[in-house]
Structure 1
Amino acid sequence: MGIREMRGRLAAEYQGLEVKVPNLFRCPISLDVMRSPVSLCTGVTYDRASIQHWIDSGNTTCPATMLPLPSTDLVPNLTLRRLIALWASTAAPASSSPSPLAPSAVGATPAAAAAELFRRIAAPGADPCPALRKLTALLSDDDVDEFDKNALARAAGAAETVASVLLRGQKEAGLEAAEAAVRVLAAIAASDCIEEENKKWVTAALAADAASTVASLARVLRSGSGLEARIDAARLVESLLRNAAPGVSATVAEAEELVAELIRLIGPVDEKGSLDKQAVVAGLSCLAAFAATRRARSEMVRFGAVPAAIRVLKADAGSPSQALRVLEAAVGCAEGRAAICEAAESAIPAVVSKMMKGRMGGAEAAVSVLWAVCHRYRDRRAVDAAAACEGGLTKLLLLMQSGCSPPARQMASELLKIFKVNAKSCLAGYDSKTTHIMPF
């Protein structure tokens, strides 16, 4: 056999070993097979890690279509996920180690593994922590199939069993067990790969004894040994506020100790005054949920939500949109407006600087804050601070041209009068023969 013929045969054999990946299974950003496909409101599906990085980088458009995103919610594409799992289990060549894309086994079957873990957790006198940590690891492992995770979440009595450990932690001073239970429950309630029906079981289990649940979560927030457990406790509080029945949500919203601990969560984590991004995002998101209750707004302000949100904006830590939403809630009460106006020299520039740095909801929240203190209540300190902000007029004009809501456009139009004095200097940089008509 000649060398040319040998090369041809080897090439043919190699071609037969290649696995052809359907284009539909590839992420438009990374071009890799999607592990966790999620869809944007534009209808385009991406791998969760890739599109989340795109959004967290401050982008407000769909990378495939470049259309603006009125919403950045990520909806799991379970149908495509099933197709990818089926393809991976049949197309990938056999090997001794399972493909991370193929459905993983958590034991003989997910149901059997779950039953064994929950039996250990519920066993009288047994330490539930090892089994709880095993559950957390499985629910957090990207290589564990989403179907297996949902099987764990929907196992009969799963949420009730883990929630009972959290409540026992309050009564029996088992803080370590309470933290481990919080990690499991948050891995279900705050995960995008868990189906909504399975998340409802967690909410129902925690709402069954709302007062004890609040006390247990406040304890983990206050005395938790690790920042991760405190962050997960905040996520569970937010889940209750947003998803539980009105009576339960009211019980949670009236818990002053939770508000105080959430504000402490978004504070500095070391002597250098640095902020943890995940803690900031979890704390601010939960505070925004608290703000739906008028009484809670006053409590938030009393415990220091305004300076905390301003600190986040100035430090560029976490999501500016969430910090702006907290400030928007604060201006809904007299105490909040007073706190912002008293710190106007630092608060107003921080709000203006982040107006166009986040999502549209954050930009509209910034306009709402400025309009409340500068136009509606006409606080002189706030007006002077706003007028002195460099680029304020330009940002308001950009917002009005970016498809914001009619109320936000009206508020921005009324705010433009504050910047009238600096209008000519603001537009002096335009080198164009076009006639610019000022909107005032």
Structure 2
Amino acid sequence: MVRKEIAMRLPPPHQGLEVKIPSFFRCPISLDVMRSPVSLCTGVTYDRASIQRWLDSGNTTCPATMLPLPSTDLVPNLTLRSLIAHWAASCSRTAGSAVSSVKSSPGGLVRQVESSGADPSPALRDLAAYLSDDDIDEFEKNALLGAGGATEAVTSVLPRKGEEISVEGVEAAVRVLAAIVVSDGIEDANKKRVVAGLGVDAAASVASLARVLRGGSGLEARIDAAGLAEFLLANAADEAKMAAAESSELVAELIRLVGPVDEKGTLDRKAVDTGLSCLAAISASRRGARAEMVRLGAVPAVVRALHATTEPGASAKALRILESAVSFAEGRAALCEDAEEAVPAVVGKMMKAGRDGAEAAVTVLWAVCHRYKDRRAADAAAASEGGLTKLLLLMQSGCSPAARQMALELLKIYKVNAKSCLAGYDSKTTHIMPF
């Protein structure tokens, strides 16, 4: 049979030189060289074994086009089979040995990851490089992640017990998954597979992310883990979101991420933004998770980030976190403990973080200065440069009625008369006087 001839002529997978495999020789499902190419009614050709498994699993669509299949008949593609046979024979003659690229094909890498007892780290690193390679067709990547089962294979690595896989292996798996969720070329359906895979054992997956955040090989690995946590918090089912939000280990590492990252105390913009995104998502969750975040030191870390960042989006996230924190006595105490640093940071970003950020800033100041009347916070607010001007500008900016009322009440901490107000607020707009 021709099928057997191809199997015999394909270079053995454990020896030889690397050669370039024509992309149309690869099965869209396994991404391995096809041994028995067959075509569906949609016109797409697959290896018989791969497409048969797809159909036997109950699927009624073409895995490449996702079109419904009015017929599941498999028609042998004799022309392609002949071309593959000639190519395989040519490789054997010119190389004189096997082709290493067959061994390290994407489908083969997935099988190495799935293999029990084997260290998946090398295969995972190769998969990450494959998914990050801009020269590889996005169709092939999506086929590997979808019908090829790569996503499920990689997500299954994270819940493995600590003694079964090193932190390097976990880090390599996180790198693959992070490459999936951040890529514009990866289909949403495949990104959802990441969420589903992580959600199978959400607590174990979250523990693995915290492990990389704590002991990753560098800042890039930590950012990848935080980015994956952010994706989980934004897209997972409620149970998985809660597993992340209520993980003290993960929250502590996210707080550490938004703080200084080296002995000089410098901040990395991407690390800060990603960490703040996660903490902002957690601050919008259950009260218990928010209280734990405050207990673990989120307030001083976020204040440091607020001072350092110049990005409006990051500033808005930081202000929303502080808004959540001051709803607790412990959060207010943490902010007021270093009011001379925290309050000016809030005032300074009030008009630099968009409308949501501005209203969050007003809420923070109103909570500590007006409602709970902390003297340190009120003095720091009154002494902050431009505080009065910013409040008046906010009141004229079309803010919500609640924010306007809070701003009006905050104006009372400025012990000034009408004349000094006008002197400090020179504008062509209509003036809103505090008294």
The 10-residue stretch of structure 1 (413-422 or 138-147) with the greater mean CA deviation from structure 2: 138-147
- Counterpart for residue 363 of structure 1: 358
Alpha-carbon shift at residue 413 of structure 1 (Å)? 2.8
Q: How far apart in 1 are the matches of 2:253 and 2:428?
A: 57
- Counterpart for residue 292 of structure 2: 299
Q: How far apart in 2 are the matches of 1:401 and 1:138?
A: 53
Alpha-carbon shift at residue 269 of structure 1 (Å)? 1.4
Q: How far apart in 2 are the matches of 1:182 and 1:200?
A: 15
Given candidates 151, 154, 167, the residue that maps to 1:162 is 154
Structure 2 unaligned segments of length 5 or more: list them: 1-21, 32-105
Q: How far apart in 2 are the matches of 1:116 and 1:129?
A: 14
Q: How far apart in 2 are the matches of 1:154 and 1:268?
A: 39
1:312 equivalent to 2:305? Answer yes
Tell me if the contact between 1:275 and 1:317 (Cα under 8 Å) persists in the aligned partners: no
1:346-368 deviation per Cα after TM superposition (whole angstroms, max 9, x unaligned): 11001101112223322222111
Which residue identity does 2:290 align to in structure 1?
R
- Counterpart for residue 405 of structure 2: 410
The 10-residue stretch of structure 1 (177-186 or 148-157) with the greater mean CA deviation from structure 2: 148-157
Alpha-carbon shift at residue 109 of structure 1 (Å)? 6.3
Which residue identity does 2:301 align to in structure 1?
A
Q: How far apart in 2 are the matches of 1:105 and 1:248?
A: 38
1:28-81 deviation per Cα after TM superposition (whole angstroms, max 9, x unaligned): xxxxxxxxxxxxxxxxxxxxxxxxxxxxxxxxxxxxxxxxxxxxxxxxxxxxxx
1:105-155 deviation per Cα after TM superposition (whole angstroms, max 9, x unaligned): 698466443434322322344443333223323434455565554444334
The size of the alignment, in residue pairs, is 337
Q: How far apart in 1 are the matches of 2:418 and 2:309?
A: 28
Given candidates 309, 312, 323, the residue that maps to 1:328 is 323
SS class of match (1:438): coil
Tell me if the contact between 2:158 and 2:204 (Cα under 8 Å) persists in the aligned partners: no
Instruction: Normalising by structure 2, report the TM-score.
Output: 0.70
Alpha-carbon shift at residue 229 of structure 1 (Å)? 1.6
- Counterpart for residue 256 of structure 2: 264
Which residue identity does 1:279 align to in structure 2?
A
Tell me if the contact between 2:124 and 2:172 (Cα under 8 Å) persists in the aligned partners: yes
Q: How far apart in 1 are the matches of 2:383 and 2:115?
A: 65
- Counterpart for residue 16 of structure 2: none
SS class of match (2:363): helix
Q: How far apart in 1 are the matches of 2:208 and 2:229?
A: 11
Tell me if the contact between 1:170 and 1:215 (Cα under 8 Å) persists in the aligned partners: no
Instruction: Normalising by structure 1, report the TM-score.
Output: 0.69
Tell me if the contact between 2:195 and 2:236 (Cα under 8 Å) persists in the aligned partners: yes
1:208 equivalent to 2:203? Answer no
Tell me if the contact between 1:242 and 1:289 (Cα under 8 Å) persists in the aligned partners: yes
- Counterpart for residue 349 of structure 2: 354
The 10-residue stretch of structure 1 (389-398 or 271-280) with the greater mean CA deviation from structure 2: 389-398
Alpha-carbon shift at residue 327 of structure 1 (Å)? 0.9
1:254 equivalent to 2:246? Answer yes
- Counterpart for residue 10 of structure 1: none
Which residue identity does 2:179 align to in structure 1?
A
The 10-residue stretch of structure 1 (117-126 or 104-113) with the greater mean CA deviation from structure 2: 104-113
1:273-320 deviation per Cα after TM superposition (whole angstroms, max 9, x unaligned): 111111111111111111122112221121111110111122236622
Q: How far apart in 1 are the matches of 2:418 and 2:184?
A: 46
Which residue identity does 1:180 align to in structure 2?
A
Residues 259 and 424 of structure 1: CA distance in aligned 2, closer, same or farther (over 3 Å):
farther
Q: How far apart in 2 are the matches of 1:148 and 1:399?
A: 51
Residues 152 and 323 of structure 1: CA distance in aligned 2, closer, same or farther (over 3 Å):
farther
Alpha-carbon shift at residue 420 of structure 1 (Å)? 5.5
Which residue identity does 1:259 align to in structure 2?
V
Tell me if the contact between 1:166 and 1:178 (Cα under 8 Å) persists in the aligned partners: yes
Which residue identity does 1:297 align to in structure 2?
R
Tell me if the contact between 1:344 and 1:382 (Cα under 8 Å) persists in the aligned partners: yes
- Counterpart for residue 40 of structure 2: none
Q: How far apart in 1 are the matches of 2:30 and 2:227?
A: 29
Structure 1 unaligned segments of length 5 or more: list them: 1-103
Residues 431 and 305 of structure 1: CA distance in aligned 2, closer, same or farther (over 3 Å):
closer
Residues 194 and 392 of structure 1: CA distance in aligned 2, closer, same or farther (over 3 Å):
farther
Q: How far apart in 2 are the matches of 1:436 and 1:124?
A: 72
- Counterpart for residue 224 of structure 1: 216
Q: How far apart in 2 are the matches of 1:147 and 1:350?
A: 47
Tell me if the contact between 2:344 and 2:384 (Cα under 8 Å) persists in the aligned partners: yes
SS class of match (1:356): coil
- Counterpart for residue 100 of structure 2: none
Q: How far apart in 1 are the matches of 2:428 and 2:318?
A: 40
Bigger RCO of structures 1 and 2 (CA < 8 A, at least 6 apart): 2
1:186 equivalent to 2:181? Answer no
- Counterpart for residue 374 of structure 1: 369
Tell me if the contact between 2:226 and 2:275 (Cα under 8 Å) persists in the aligned partners: yes
1:119 equivalent to 2:129? Answer no
- Counterpart for residue 177 of structure 1: 169
- Counterpart for residue 241 of structure 1: 233
Residues 110 and 231 of structure 1: CA distance in aligned 2, closer, same or farther (over 3 Å):
farther
Q: How far apart in 2 are the matches of 1:344 and 1:224?
A: 34
- Counterpart for residue 18 of structure 2: none
Residues 349 and 433 of structure 1: CA distance in aligned 2, closer, same or farther (over 3 Å):
closer
